[in-house]
Structure 1
Amino acid sequence: MTTAVFTSDTEARLAVARQVADAVLFEGYVLYPYRASAAKNRFRWQFGVLVPPSWSAAGEHSQQHTACLMEPRPGAELALEVRFLHVQRRTVEELRADGSHAPVPELRLADRVLPTWDEGVEERVTLTVPVGALDGEGITVPFTRPAAEETEDVTDAEGRVRGRLVRRREAISGVLRISAAELDGPYRVRRLSVTVENDSCWNAGPDADRHAALAHSLVATHTLLRLDAGSFLSMTDPPEWARSAVAACDNRHTWPVLAGEPGHADLVLSSPIILDDHPAIAPESPGALYDATEIDEILALRTAALTDEEKREARGTDARAAAVIDLADTMPQEVLERLHGAVRSLREVTGPREPSGADLLVPDAPWWDPAGDPSVDPARDHVLVDGRAVRAGSRVLLCPRLRRSDAQDLFLDGRNALVEAVLHDVDGGVHIAVTLEDDPGADIRREQGRFLYFQPDEVRALEDV
């Protein structure tokens, strides 16, 4: 086991997932209208907060636990990166005539208003470890971040020193526990367990509150995992054979999803915010707005419409808030227009193609006419299911998949059905049209062509009629 400096390949792969991980890290960091005085910015740090063990309150906890399944190849290494924010208390001090400094609630300058504020400093715990070293008790990695104090002079537009900002961070410590166990069965699958725990020694005292505890907490804690040889299984939509093993995984205060590009399974993001597999930032988004469930167009328009005084306070609240104000003020019209709606489900299906026989026989023929295309025949076409050909007249057992089914489909789980047709769509997908064997209205449905439709991995082949 080594404390990582990651290899260039691992670093490149983790960088793919960090864009979404950054959104998790700063989710709700500062909310519109981006001013410290706004009511909704007075209760902060709501996601992935691991408090010190001496502090206990409803809904707060000192550790999070990730469990997921992986199929590592022999000699595989696991790269791990735990990321969190370390709360930094920023106080404002005004320069007095005698050269001393005195704390003030805020310092008002011509271009900004600097209030007392809690900033977040990004921290990382990184390591690489051979998967084989995780067997049994696995490994335990303690980590600490020391207390620190920094000062920064504040100058006005004429360059005169008007005061200073004093930033203080409390010492925090934690422990990372990682282990893996091979599961029984025909597949060489391991259950990976990762626990991140805050074990900071802080005496909460009878009068301590959440604000005091946050200075000793790990905030927005999440974990990135990468296998250099092998793959992870989806915890959201696992293969059928792995469903019971996935159900046995104990995830507490975090949820692991496949990260990076669709079609790749070497990355996992375990996040305190529930995500789907392969989450991605919308390509239209011009920058981070940090607002929970942000809608870029609305937030950009509202931010640009803030008064000059409101923008002064937002700029002084936090450097990230100042960047949002500048982004909204300088956003070109064509960028703003791109934020006005995007439909992800539509794909281009027309375009240049080789002429077919139908084009030669029928003038002004449509770009695709299923009735005139001899390559498809729903009554005779088949698809392989469980290694057997399923076609019109075959009997199947319905097994709807959770992610692609509605409530009506789920009620049909375990029912026998008769295949009426095997249909191919223009995108290469296959759909199996069925009627239920015990449906007294099956004949009427057949006459009207009102079938139920399932994909090949949602049925099991039974003996032919």
Structure 2
Amino acid sequence: MTTTSPPDARFAAARQLADAVLFEGYVLYPYRASAAKNRMRWQFGVLVPPAWGPAHGEHSFQRTELVMEPRGEAVLHLELRFLRAWRRTVEQALGDGSFTAVPELHLPDRVLVPWDEGTEEQAELTVPVAELAAGEVTLPLVRPAREETEPVLGADGRERGRLVRSAERIDAEVRLRAEELDVPYRALKLTVVVENTAAWTPGPGAGRDSALPRSLVAAHLLLGLSAGSFLSMTDPPEWARPAVRGCDNRHTWPVLAGGEGRADVVLSSPIILEDHAAIAPESAGAMYDALEIDEILALRTAALTDQEKREARGTDPRAAAVVDLADSMPPEVLERLHGAVRALREITGPDRAGVPEDVFTPDTPWWDPAHGAAAEPVPERITVDGRPVGPGSRVLLRPGLRRTDAQDLFLRGRAARVEAVLHDVDGGVHLAVTVDGDPGADIRREQGRFLYFQPDEVAPLEDE
């Protein structure tokens, strides 16, 4: 066994997604330490010291279990990645060589405040699968306590103060084992436990702020096989379903990563993801607040006052980067964030632009939604109230009260033009329409962004 794995290209694609997990919720809009939602931090994958966790409903370990099919003398590569919380205090220079702690230090471009910064930590392991099958392998992890000081200089080059960062000792271990499964093919169940083993004993009244510097934050694993594959935990082959159901994952969930079609890399994440999840290609950079839409975040951040931006820049270097990103984002990049639809493909020629790939049209005559086999062509027009309705037909909108968007109720009684008749995988029919008098109708047609109603929610009108 070696505790340092060689550079592994197979992790490159998965690492971008893993970084998003690592920093999810790190600092939230409006990116200021004073904001209420930035006072309760570190929500995902926090492994706290075992003496503190049980009394506060938090856990000190996470367990990953999954099924793998190694080939030959396969080797398992593992990366444990997490954030380490450094407590930052702000001190002002007194002019005589001494310093005093202050709640704020005002500079022309930022306002420095006390804050917990997160730094990336990583532990690596390379071990033959045969060694895991022979017995448990343990990787100890120790990060000694540290303190660092950074001078803060003014525009004139004089020392205005300093930042003092301190990190507590962290102790943890990773335990791995593999066991042969009684299945038709050679397969093993891999178990990986990551546990905080800190000997720290909390004093009376010790709160979460005391535990966090001794915790592994946003802890997750990257696992890779040199030869062979992992099985999907959500869509395993039939023969492996009982074995997959027998896997016990605690406080984390493993998904296939490393690019579509690959099965030799797994990301075990405290945030539940789907297999082969990916960062949207339109994303201009990390904004740390995935509960918001990038476009909205960029617009809101750019609209912050100069004083709010000074506070954000002084909160954290990553918050400062978000502010700079929003301020410098070109219009064409911001436009990319608006209305991206993954399911659409470009259709040229006589076909309609912007028809989803998973919607069946007259141009897909050999697909049966129920069986995936040869079928009759889907009709271009349908019958509504005894009259044919299709592209170009004018209809009266009468949205259903129970199944429509509340906003659509304002369209009751409005006339509209049918742009397309769409059929979904369940055999349902949907009419894509533009509303008469909508000044943005041409843009909607160009982008394929329509309103959708079912046939019983419209009534045919005489064509003009």
Task: Give the AA of the match of 1:2.
Answer: T
Residues 175-224 of structure 1: per-residue CA shift (max 9 Å, x gap)? 11000001012111110000000001212112210010001000000000
List gaps (5 residues or longer) in structure 1.
353-365, 371-375, 379-403, 405-418, 427-449, 454-465
Alignment correspondent of 2:230: 232
**Residues 291 and 421 (structure 1), Cα distance of their counterparts in 2 relative to 1, 3 Å cut:** closer
2:83 corresponds in structure 1 to: 85
- Specify the alignment match of 1:18 in structure 2: 15
**1:132 aligned partner:** 130
Distance 1:75 1:81 in 2: 20
1:338 to 336, 343, 351: 336
Residue 2 (structure 2) aligns with: 2
Which residue number in structure 2 is paired with residue 314 of structure 1?
A: 312
Aligned partners of 2:33 and 2:71: how far apart in 1?
Answer: 50
Structure 1 residues 377 and 39: CA distance shift in structure 2, 3 A: closer
The answer to whether residue 24 in structure 2 is matched with residue 27 in structure 1 is yes
RMSD: 2.4
2:173 pairs, out of 172, 175, 179, with 175
Q: In 2 relative to 1, CA 237–369 (structure 1 residues): closer, same or farther, beyond 3 Å?
A: closer
What does 1:229-268 align with in structure 2 at a 5 Å threshold? 229-268=227-266
Percent sequence identity over matched residues?
Answer: 66
* Structure 2 letter corresponding to 1:156: G
User: 1:101 offset after TM fit, Å?
Assistant: 0.5
Letter paired with 1:18: R
More off after superposition, 216-225 vs 128-137: 128-137
Equivalent-residue separation in structure 2 for 1:32 and 1:86 (angstroms)? 22
Which amino acid counterpart does residue 293 of structure 1 have in structure 2? L
The normalised TM-score by structure 1 is 0.76
**How many angstroms apart in 2 are the aligned matches of 1:72 and 1:50?**
30
Q: Quick check: 1:54 aligned with 2:51?
A: yes
Q: Distance in 1 between matches of 2:158 and 2:376?
A: 70
Q: Which amino acid counterpart does residue 165 of structure 1 have in structure 2?
A: L
Is 1:423 equivalent to 2:374 in the alignment? yes
Deviation at 1:233, TM superposition (A): 0.3
Relative to structure 1, the CA distance from residue 420 to residue 137 in structure 2 (aligned partners, 3 Å threshold; closer, same or farther) is closer
Cα distance, 1:64 vs structure 2: 0.2
In structure 2, the CA distance between the partners of 1:136 and 1:5, relative to structure 1 (3 Å rule), is: closer
CA–CA distance in 1 between the matches of 2:49 and 2:108?
A: 40
- Give the match's secondary structure for 1:422: coil
SS at match of 1:3: coil
Instruction: Work out the CA distance in 1 between the residues paired with 2:148 and 2:239.
Output: 55
Residue of 113, 116, 130 corresponding to 1:115? 113
Deviation at 1:367, TM superposition (A): 9.5
CA distance in 2, matches of 1:286, 1:61: 35
Give 1:348 shift.
3.4
Q: How is 1:154-169 mapped onto 2 (pairs within 5 angstroms)?
A: 154-169=152-167
Q: Distance in 1 between matches of 2:331 and 2:158?
A: 37
2-structure distance, mates of 1:199, 1:420:
54
- For the residue of structure 1 that corresponds to 2:32, the secondary structure is coil
Call closer, same or farther: CA 1:298–1:137 in 2, change over 3 Å: same
One of 178, 182, 185 as aligned partner of 1:184 = 182
* Displacement after TM superposition at 1:12 (Å): 1.4
Return the alpha-carbon distance in structure 2 between the equivalents of residues 344 and 425 of structure 1: 28
Aligned to 1:68: 66
Alpha-carbon distance in structure 1 between the residues aligned to 2:364 and 2:426: 23
* Deviation of the 1:424 alpha carbon: 7.0
C-alpha displacement of 1:425: 11
Distance in 2 of aligned mates of 1:121 and 1:346: 39
Instruction: Mark the CA change 1:424 to 1:107 in structure 2 (over 3 Å): closer, same or farther.
Output: farther
Matches within 5 A, 1:33-48: 33-48=30-45
- Residue 463 of structure 1 corresponds to none
Deviation by residue 1:74-111 (Cα, 9 ceiling, x = unmatched): 10000000000111000001101322111111111111
**How far 1:28 moved relative to its partner?**
0.3
Q: CA deviation at 1:294?
A: 3.3
Equivalents in 2 of 1:377, 1:303: separation in Å?
47
CA 83–452 in structure 1, closer or farther in 2 if over 3 Å, else same: closer
Partner-residue secondary structure (3-state), 2:373: strand
Q: What corresponds to 2:292 in structure 1?
A: 294
- Partner amino acid, structure 1, of 2:277: P
Q: Distance in 2 between matches of 1:105 and 1:425?
A: 73
What SS does structure 2 have at the residue aligned with 1:32?
A: coil
Given that 1:260 and 1:279 are in contact with CA atoms closer than 8 Å, whether structure 2 keeps it comes out as: no
Following superposition, the deviation at residue 368 of structure 1 comes to 4.8
DSSP 3-state at the match of 1:75: coil
Q: Does the C-alpha gap of structure 1 residues 180 and 369 become closer, same or farther in structure 2, counting only changes over 3 Å?
A: closer
Structure 2 gap segments, 5+ residues each: 351-360, 378-423, 428-464
Amino acid at match of 2:300: R
CA 1:425–1:113 in structure 2 vs 1: closer, same or farther (change >3 Å)? farther
CA deviation after TM superposition for structure 1 residue 293, in Å = 2.2
CA distance in 1 between counterparts of 2:262 and 2:220 reads 20
Partner SS for 2:221:
strand
Letter of the structure 2 residue corresponding to residue 256 of structure 1? P
* Counterpart in the other structure of 2:199: 201
> Are the aligned partners of 1:31 and 1:292 in contact in 2 as well (CA < 8 Å)?
no
Query: What is the distance in 2 between the residues matched to 1:171 and 1:424?
Result: 66
Distance 1:118 1:187 in 2: 49
Q: Give the whole-Å Cα distance in 2 for the aligned partners of 1:39 and 1:289.
A: 18
Q: CA deviation at 1:423?
A: 2.5
TM-score (norm 2): 0.76
